[in-house]
Copies of this chain bind each other. A is one copy, B any other.
């Protein structure tokens, strides 16, 4: 359908560099794959009244008793401003606790509240059920392969634009 490779309107492949077919570009493939998975999770999360991002935050908090905001941002892959707004919301809804770090008043220590933990406990079986479906349908082995490749890709990308390790690209 969208496989029309010869309609270049005005640019023959010989004279201009030709981009790989759009739908096959790596970023689009990753985007589509992620969306195909998230579609199933989002539906359940919505029933529990949390967005995907809010769930990421709660989920990350469930792995440690307390986390700083910056640490949480790294873990959830959210930027500071987004996270900041989400924390206000989760706090107002009583799902998390924020206490100042006595050693550094710039820092907040974030943790799950009892009701936040309860929410996690409620969502977990549903989430795991979906994950099991994916495993069965896609195959445990392939899932493992995919995870390995994704991790390797991340590693490979980490070393490309940087002059030194961890050096910001700009």
Contacts and interface: CB of A to CB of B under 8 A. Distances in A.
Interface of A: 2, 4, 7, 9-11, 16-41, 43, 56, 59-60, 62-65, 74-75, 77, 111-112, 117, 120-121, 124-125, 127-128, 131, 133-134, 137-138, 142-143, 145-147, 149-154, 156-161, 169-170
A131 to B, nearest CB: 7
B154 A134 contact: no
Contact of A137 (B21, B30, B159): B159
Contacts of A38: 27
Number of copies: 2
Contacts of A128: 17, 19
Contacts of A34: 27, 30-31, 34
Contacts of A27: 34, 37-38, 41
A77 B10 CA distance: 25
Contacts of A117: 9-11
Nearest to A34: B30
